[in-house]
Amino acid sequence: MTIDKSWIRENRMSSKYLEGLKNFMKIAEKHVNSKCKVRCPCKTCVNSYQQVLPTVYAHLHDIGFLETYTMWIYHGEKHVGSSNLSYNSTPRTNTPTSNEMSDVIYDVMAEQNTNEENIDEEGRGIDPWTNSSFDQLVELLRAAFLKSKIPASHYEAKKKLRKIGLGYQSIHTCKNDCALFWKENGSMQNCPICKESRWVDTTTKGKKVPQKVLRYFPLTPRLRRMYSSRFTAKDMSWHNIGRSIDGMMYHPVDGKSWQDFDQRYPEFAKEPRNVRLGLAADGFNPFGNFNSTYSTWPIILTTYNTPPWICMKESSFMLTLLIPGAKSPSKDIDVFVRPLVDELKMLWSEGVQMRDASTNTVFNMRAMLLWTINDFPARVSLSGWSGQGYLACPTCNTDTSSIHVTKKMSYVGHRRFLHMNHKWRQSLLFNGQPERRPHPRRFINTAILKQLACLPDRIPGKHPEHGGATRKRNDETRKKELNWTKHSFFFELVYWSSLELKHNIDFMHVEKNVDESFVNTALMKEKTKDKKRGKRRLEKYGHSATSVAKRESQQEEESQ
């Protein structure tokens, strides 16, 4: 049965409009919440605010019905999902015009499901200047553009940003990185682990200042915005029709990790609008110009649903966490990512109802974390596998080939990665011996989880009497725990242990640290690693042509 909606465009004083409004109120009356409120579809509230029924009637009578609200999904009308999605796979090079940009904002404002629990109580954004200077700027702009809809003040701008989900949560943290004052610890005044005070000054009579503040930008509202705009919702299913047809890899969808995940979780793969995320994390010093030691860690997400010319653009990156310094979180990064992990677990197990503006359908959107991208030290913090010692390679695990060379660890024996019949395996020019070892083993998920099960519970934090105390391990403990330092928070995601590729080393560091050293050594430039001290060490361990020649001559003499 179809519902007549033609009345919403009639004159509000006409009998047809009043009769249609009366019928709508009867429908809305059946879908009030526990507080007897329902979403108001007037042109001002645009379904973002819930009102009591008399207020909804007054708004629709005086202001008018939102004409773009053609499917009454908030008032009981059910949606029939469409799986036959048609998308243009060519790059979108044009940018929205000024009128289209207004439509983008309107789309988001009209369909944004504002979650009061996920946004800072003030709807704050990061302010690059003071509130008063911002007020002066908008006052100047309003005077210059009289017909514009520029907010009147900094406060009004924050309210508008809050409506489209651009706020963030301020979460107080322990000064020693032990715990967050969040959820069950939200009302505590002292850290539940190290007992340090939550506040800088507990005796002040004014507003108390927290020791540290973690900024958390909820993920769900931003994913909702991507589907709320018809300009971006179409790109969110590009991966479903943009797969490579010539066997080359142009996008993560063409990779083995993505395809292996689809085979393991076909229900997730069946809905192309489900979101695949990549996580990047690293530290930087925001006060570098002042020669100050400080480490702030941003955690950024990007979505791989979109084409490669969009997903890697800076405008597609989503800042999710801003971890405060002054020290690097290191192994305690698990404490700070707790809000993000909880949200990822919810998006995987339950999902959220989402409206796709491009097809005007409602679906249950789920999301998963495909992998991380970082440099090697950041990988150590995220994965829990130490990057130092004899077993520093996280892929080779216990099969890592390494030797100790005068205060340094050296990782050798890379010929074992070649196929068994390769001629370099028989050469004596490397270490004077042929390489007969097989490839390093690929450790299956159950083996990794068995290793992690041997780890003792770790107390987080940098307090010297608690988590910050250095734990000495004897030979038996090292043999049992290997190079694991903690049970990574990623393993709380039920699909994480089954991922083919969990951590990526970013290309910039590979290019800088590996390629540059190799090229400079090969071309004998100033930054070459082939120096006198290195040559002496190679001779000591038999890694030079001279050592091989001496050994061959000795073997000939002995045979004679």
Query: Rounded CA gap, 299 and 489, in Å?
Result: 15
Asked if 435 contacts 423 with a C-beta cutoff of 8 angstroms, the reply is: no
pLDDT at position 363 is: 93
Structure tokens at 416: 């074992």
In our burial notation (b when 16+ CB lie closer than 10 A, e otherwise), range 197-232 reads: ebbeeeeeeeeeebbbebbbbbbbbbbbbbbbbbbb
Tell me what pLDDT residue 348 has. Answer: 95
Residues 465 and 493: their CA atoms lie apart, in Å, by 31
Averaged in consecutive runs of 10 residues, what is the pLDDT profile of the chain (560 residues)? 79 88 88 85 82 88 83 72 39 43 50 41 47 84 80 83 77 93 91 92 88 93 89 90 86 92 94 94 82 86 92 90 90 92 94 90 94 90 88 87 81 88 86 86 85 86 74 76 88 90 85 79 73 71 55 55
CB 212 within 8 A of CB 283: no
Residue in the structure block whose two tokens are 């091989």: 548
Task: Tell me the two tokens of residue 529.
Answer: 């690693």
In degrees rounded to 5, what are phi and psi of residue 361? -125, 160
DSSP helix/strand/coil, 441:
coil
Which amino acid type is present at position 531?
Answer: K
The residue type of 558 is: E
* Helix ranges (DSSP H) in 8-92: 15-28, 53-62
Distance CA 27, CA 31 (A): 7
Residue whose structure tokens are 């979108």:
92
CA nearest neighbour of 320 among 443, 223, 226:
223
Is residue 400 within 8 Å of 390, Cβ to Cβ? yes
How is residue 221 written in tokens?
Answer: 């509202």
Residues 215, 209 contacting (CB under 8 angstroms): no
3-state secondary structure of 548: helix
State both tokens at 10: 């009639």
Angle at 268 between CA 267 and CA 269, to 5 degrees: 90
Q: Which pair of tokens denotes residue 36?
A: 């007897």
Phi, psi dihedrals of residue 173, rounded to the nearest 5°: -130, 160
What is the rounded distance in angstroms from the CA atom of residue 493 to the CA atom of residue 346? 10
Single-letter amino acid, residue 318:
M
Number of other residues whose CB lies within 10 A of the CB of residue 369 = 22
Closest among 25, 111, 110 to 61, alpha carbons compared: 25
Q: How far apart are the first and last CA of the chain?
A: 102
3-class DSSP state of 527: coil
Q: Are residues 398 and 482 in contact, defined by beta-carbon separation less than 8 angstroms?
A: yes
DSSP string covering 354-401: EEETTTTEEEEE-EEEEEEEE-HHHHHHHH-B-SSSTT--TTTGGG--
Task: Provide the pLDDT for residue 263.
Answer: 94
Q: How far apart are CA 542 and CA 431, in angstroms?
A: 5
Q: Tokens 């100050």 belong to which residue? A: 292
| Parallel, antiparallel or unpaired: strands 318-323 and 212-216 | antiparallel
Residue in the block written with tokens 């990064």: 333
Q: Are 382 and 513 in contact (CB under 8 A)?
A: no
Written as six digits, the tokens of 291 are 């020669």
Contacts of 396 by beta carbon, 8 Å cutoff, 6+ apart: 440
Between CA 425 and CA 88 the distance in angstroms is 50
Q: Are 71 and 41 in contact (CB under 8 A)?
A: no
Q: How many CA atoms lie within 13 A of 412 on its CB side?
A: 15
